[in-house]
Amino acid sequence: MQLTELLARLANGEPLSGVGLAEQAGVTRAAIWKQVEALRARGVPIESRGSAGYQLPWALQMLDSTRIRASLPDAVVDSLGGLEVHWELDSTSSDLQRRAGEVPDLSFVLAESQTAGRGRRGRPWLSPPGLNIYLSCLKRFESGFAALSGLSLAVGVVVLRALDELGIGGAGLKWPNDILVHGGDGFGGKLGGILVELSGEYQGPCAAIIGIGLNLRLTPALHEQAGQPASDLAALTAGMPPDRNRMVAALIKSLVEGLRQFEREGFPAFADDYARYDLLRDQPLRVSGRSGEFDGVGAGVDARGALQVRTADANLRRIDSADVTVRRT
Ligand code: BTN
């Protein structure tokens, strides 16, 4: 039995006996056990229930391109260059990058799991199957790289708009493009991340590969492996995260509309929404970049998406790239 089929059978959250699974698949119980172990090794929390067999702690939905399309308005479906769902890829963004010359504009690639998911600054992105969302989109632009400043911040707004549309509140943006949960006294953990990679001609035309990772369900083991405070949509929805296919559809709709808007109007069209979701505004910050470290207070972003930080001498410094942490006072 393939891993994808085993996970699909367990997806409704009911227990399934090893004997039953083995009979249906015409294999031995040991072969089923081996596949269960393979899914566990990838991070799926399959529990053993004695003679009742194997069970997931909750139901999940396998990604399904037909269901995703069915949840999209016709106008969005008509604009899609492609929509692929894979069981496993090294990385949805690397996959699109390898085919960037061939695939149409607004092509979307999703995978149930990634073996080499990439975060910003070369960090790995944990990508167990069935639990979260790993989505990449290719968008072509006639303009050059300069017109795309602020694109990754705009994508953060696009993700928050998709969450809003599903009635999920409680998330915000940490510059440049972390999606975080509001904590009681500041930030909760990281809910998702955005990786925008540009290719093509500096003066245009060019293409952006936009990768989005969004946590729906993290397990205790994944929290530990994340190496930083992490959170998931289950935490924002009293343990009832949205159907994964509906969440993906909301992201795709918001991306198609948002990327068109960005193409026409640039980052200024997103500035008000960014300000609404900005978790760094008025926070005491420590900024560490190539030119050293300094402290200040978050003062929003400028029209290009650069972070503004007010220093103790009342200067406003603009930062294009740096690590920013909130100082505990
Ligand atoms: C970050 O470091 O915060 C950015 C994480 C981006 C992860 C997504 S998951 C889909 C796409 N494929 C990847 O390999 N990375 C991005």
Q: What is the mean pLDDT of the chain?
A: 95
The token pair at 253 is 């709709």
CB 294 within 8 A of CB 190: no
Q: Give the pLDDT confidence score for residue 35 in this predicted structure.
A: 97
If you measure from the C-alpha of residue 119 to the centroid of ligand 1, how many angstroms do you get, rounded to a whole number? 5
Among 113, 137, 195, the mutation site with the greatest number of ligand 1 atoms within 8 A of its Cβ is 195
Per-residue pLDDT for 183 more than 80? no
User: What is the rounded average pLDDT of the residues 307-313?
Assistant: 95
Among 210, 212, 215, 255, the mutation site with the greatest number of ligand 1 atoms within 8 A of its Cβ is 212
Predicted confidence (pLDDT) per residue in 118-158, tens digit:
999 899 999 999 999 999 999 999 999 999 999 999 999 99
Predicted confidence (pLDDT) per residue in 237-282, tens digit:
999 999 999 999 999 999 999 999 999 999 999 999 999 999 999 9
What's the CA gap between 6 and 169, in Å, rounded?
Answer: 33
Minimum mean pLDDT among 7-11, 111-115, 219-223: which range?
219-223
User: What is the rounded average pLDDT of the residues 192-202?
Assistant: 95
What's the CA gap between 198 and 206, in Å, rounded?
Answer: 7
Query: Measured from the CA of 213, which atom of ligand 1 is nearest?
Result: 9
If you measure from the C-alpha of residue 210 to the centroid of ligand 1, how many angstroms do you get, rounded to a whole number? 9
User: What is the rounded average pLDDT of the residues 51-74?
Assistant: 96
What's the CA gap between 266 and 258, in Å, rounded?
Answer: 10
User: What is the rounded average pLDDT of the residues 213-220?
Assistant: 96
What's the CA gap between 134 and 127, in Å, rounded?
Answer: 7
Nearest CA to ligand 1 atom 3: 193
What's the CA gap between 124 and 323, in Å, rounded?
Answer: 17
Q: Give the pLDDT confidence score for residue 134 in this predicted structure.
A: 98
Predicted confidence (pLDDT) per residue in 160-175, tens digit:
999 999 999 999 999 9
If you measure from the C-alpha of residue 238 to the centroid of ligand 1, how many angstroms do you get, rounded to a whole number? 25
What's the CA gap between 208 and 154, in Å, rounded?
Answer: 13
* pLDDT confidence bin for 187, thresholds 50/70/90: confident
Per-residue pLDDT for 230 more than 90? yes
The response to whether residue 194 sits with its C-beta less than 6 Å from ligand 1 reads yes
The response to whether residue 92 sits with its C-beta less than 6 Å from ligand 1 reads yes
The token pair at 53 is 């067999």
Residue 208 phi, psi dihedral angles, 5° rounding: -115, 130
Q: Give the pLDDT confidence score for residue 188 in this predicted structure.
A: 84
CB 159 within 8 A of CB 194: yes
Per-residue pLDDT for 184 more than 70? no
What's the CA gap between 9 and 310, in Å, rounded?
Answer: 55
Sign of CA dihedral 237, 241, 243, 248: positive
The token pair at 54 is 């194997």
Residue 73 phi, psi dihedral angles, 5° rounding: -60, 150
Q: Give the pLDDT confidence score for residue 297 in this predicted structure.
A: 96
Q: Give the pLDDT confidence score for residue 289 in this predicted structure.
A: 85
If you measure from the C-alpha of residue 213 to the centroid of ligand 1, how many angstroms do you get, rounded to a whole number? 5
* Percent of the residues in the chain that have a pLDDT greater than 70, as a whole number: 98
CB 250 within 8 A of CB 166: yes
* pLDDT confidence bin for 193, thresholds 50/70/90: very high
Q: Give the pLDDT confidence score for residue 244 in this predicted structure.
A: 98
User: What is the rounded average pLDDT of the residues 284-307?
Assistant: 93
Residue with tokens 């991340």: 193
User: What is the rounded average pLDDT of the residues 209-231?
Assistant: 94
If you measure from the C-alpha of residue 283 to the centroid of ligand 1, how many angstroms do you get, rounded to a whole number? 26
Please state the separation of Cα 280 from the chain's center in Å.
20
The response to whether residue 120 sits with its C-beta less than 6 Å from ligand 1 reads yes
The response to whether residue 123 sits with its C-beta less than 6 Å from ligand 1 reads yes
What's the CA gap between 179 and 157, in Å, rounded?
Answer: 9
If you measure from the C-alpha of residue 7 to the centroid of ligand 1, how many angstroms do you get, rounded to a whole number? 23
Per-residue pLDDT for 185 more than 80? no
